[in-house]
Amino acid sequence: MSTANRYQHIKSTKPILGKARKLKDLMLKSDNRICADCGAPDPKWASANIGVFLCLKCGDVHRALGPDVSKVLSVTLDDWSDSDIDSMVEVGGNSYANSIYEAFLPKDHPKPKLNSTMEYRTKFIRAKYETQDFLTPSLRIASKGSFNSTNSVKSVTSNFTSTSISGKHVAEDTREFVGELNITVVRGIQLAVRDMLTSDPYVILLLGEQKAQTTVKPSDLNPVWNEVLKLSVPRNYGPLKLQVYDHDTFSADDIMGEAEIDLQPMITAAMAFGDPSRIGDMQIGRWFMTKDNALLKDSTVNVVAGKVKQEVHLKLQNVESGEIELELEWVPIL
């Protein structure tokens, strides 16, 4: 069945059609074109409450866990409610969900493959979602064996609206900003030439209406900045946008590439763990490299000396060459 026909069985009311378009767009992202659990191509099933796309075999295992653990729907045959579509879209798909559910997947515990036995497939899926063995206890959404219909990645991110950093309940959070980022622009690597033989690069960071900029590094294709730029994170934050320019004295500055940094894995993990000064050094999350982002390798979120930090290595987009290394530090607003 073609992509255009996959959603022909979804309810035809106007609200559903509009949301079904968002679901279809989500499914077309490269990381959602494979099964979240085994990597099989062209998944035609999904767990609406967990927020992942699944192949038939993994979907069967999820269905056996029961709808309180995983609500399995066909993306071609079943009717999707508004809330089911909202859950999928809010989570963001396989990469976002896996950054939570597989944050602590041991290297000696490989994921199932396309040809894995049902026994191993079942063992892995139950450990991942039912007993949540690959999350640390403080990040587990529910206690082992006691899942409920609301447990999903969005249950973690709902901390923004239901709790403060310290865990104290608030009736309504009206803060404009939920935290701050200290972003160290470490260095550039093999940046593009925009003058005769070199460039005069500088970096701009954009978050919402905010803008921050590094100094210009004259005649340097491998500049080292180690400059800290500070930005506040609004409640409804989007991606952190990075742009590199070549400074020109007598004409407009030339673009030398750009990239986007997804802040959700870092902020979700930081909010779930609470005050980092109360826990030891450890990994608490991960942003996965996919074809849809600019990462050169997976980016882990770690607590280091009581601070939440994330090292990011980016390949600049829409340019012939260039890489940028950053270090992000999350500072909660208490």
Domain for residue 203, yes or no?
Answer: yes
Strand partners, 117: none
Q: Residue 283 is which amino acid? A: Q
Residue range 21-32: mean pLDDT, rounded: 87
In terms of residue numbers, what domain contains 35? Answer: 20-130
The pLDDT tens digits of the residues spanning 49-68 come to: 999 999 999 999 999 999 99
- The least confident of 66-80, 144-158, 268-282 is 144-158
222-235: average pLDDT: 95
Single-letter amino acid, residue 226: N
| Helices then strands, each counted (H, E), the chain | 8, 13
Question: Do 305 and 201 belong together in one domain?
Answer: yes
Judge if 218 and 319 occupy the same domain: yes
Q: Where are the alpha helices (DSSP H) in 33-181?
A: 56-65, 82-91, 94-101, 118-125, 153-157, 159-162
Sign of the dihedral through C-alpha 159, 162, 168, 170: positive
List pLDDT tens digits, range 240-250: 999 999 999 88
Does residue 275 lie in a domain region?
yes
pLDDT at 62: 96
Q: Full-prediction pTM beyond 0.75?
A: no
Compute the average pLDDT of residues 255-276.
89
Helix ranges, 137-204 (H): 153-157, 159-162
Do 83 and 227 belong together in one domain? Answer: no
Could you tell me the CATH number of the domain that includes residue 83?
1.10.220.150
Q: 3-state class of 287 per DSSP?
A: strand
Percentage of the chain with pLDDT > 90? 54
Residues 181, 50: one domain?
no
